[in-house]
A = this chain, B = another copy of it.
Amino acid sequence: MTEGDGSQAPPPRRRGRPSRTEAKTGPDARTRILEAARTEFSERGYDKTSVRGIAKAAGVDAALVHHYFGTKDEVFAAAIELSFEPALVIPDILGSSTEGLGERLAGYFIGVWENPASRAPLLAIMRSAMTHEAAAKVLRVFVLRHLLDRIADQLDVPDATFRAELAASHMVGIAVLRYVIRAEPLASADPQKIIAMVGPTLQRYLTES
């Protein structure tokens, strides 16, 4: 792994700025960039976040951000993946059997949103995607498609991707009404009560043909 001061990578347009002290310690540069990106997108929104700003917050050169991720859209997609961690959780949720799948999925989703640390970036993603086509495109092309295909691959029903997206739509709508609009009674409902009601719906979409 690089020390992350920018001089380790072969940045073609290195600006020769002095690296920050933090850059030489702690987690590797790639992780620092991703976490900085998540914070920047959360706090500023998609539109006002720049690769330069992310680089500055991570204490690295902008060229290193481009080196690791490419464009701003690609950094955005990677920052979203960091919030969901689908590679880690999808195998766990799908498990070895489809029994209880709907409830596991609802439980995971509500859990991510109940955690303030993951809620903030998710709110930022949703707000950005609702108001900026570029952010919507990232979500549509890089994130959702990938995620839905991955889940659908594990299902044994016709129209698996369509069904996975219907399940996703329900969870997205719950997030909108509970966490964004905060409409009662859903906003104050016990998470377990929501999971118990929604689990069977997701189960039906994902397993019953």
Q: Which residues of A contact B (CB under 8 A)?
A: 126-127, 129-131, 136, 139-140, 144-145, 148, 159, 161-163, 165-166, 168-178, 180-186, 189, 193-194, 197-198, 200-201, 204-205
Q: Please list 15 pairs of residues, one from A and one from B, whose beta carbons are closer than 8 Å in the complex, sorted by A's number.
A: A127-B130, A130-B180, A139-B181, A139-B183, A140-B181, A144-B183, A145-B184, A162-B186, A168-B177, A169-B170, A170-B201, A172-B176, A172-B177, A197-B205, A201-B205
Q: Which of B144, B148, B176, B178 contacts A130 (CB 8 A)?
A: B176
Q: Which residue of B lies closest to A123 (CB)?
A: B130
User: Is B180 within 8 A of A129, CB to CB?
Assistant: yes
User: Is B169 within 8 A of A177, CB to CB?
Assistant: yes
> Given A129-B180, A180-B130, A183-B139: A197 and B166 within 8 A (CB)?
yes
User: With a CB–CB cut-off of 8 A, which chain B residues contact A161?
Assistant: 185
User: With a CB–CB cut-off of 8 A, which chain B residues contact A165?
Assistant: 177, 183, 185-186
User: With a CB–CB cut-off of 8 A, which chain B residues contact A172?
Assistant: 172-173, 176-177
Q: Top 10 A-B pairs ranked by shortest CB distance?
A: A173-B173, A169-B173, A172-B173, A130-B130, A165-B186, A144-B183, A170-B170, A169-B174, A140-B183, A162-B185
User: With a CB–CB cut-off of 8 A, which chain B residues contact A181?
Assistant: 129, 136, 139-140, 144
In angstroms, Cα B193 to Cα A159, docked, is: 11
User: Is B131 within 8 A of A182, CB to CB?
Assistant: no
User: With a CB–CB cut-off of 8 A, which chain B residues contact A175?
Assistant: 173
User: Is A130 within 8 A of B136, CB to CB?
Assistant: no
Q: Report the minimum CB–CB distance from A176 to chain B (whole Å).
A: 5
In angstroms, Cα B166 to Cα A189, docked, is: 11
User: Is B205 within 8 A of A204, CB to CB?
Assistant: no
Which of A139, A140, A144, A166 gathers the greatest number of chain B CB atoms within 10 Å?
A166
In angstroms, Cα B148 to Cα A83, docked, is: 32
In angstroms, Cα B197 to Cα A198, docked, is: 15
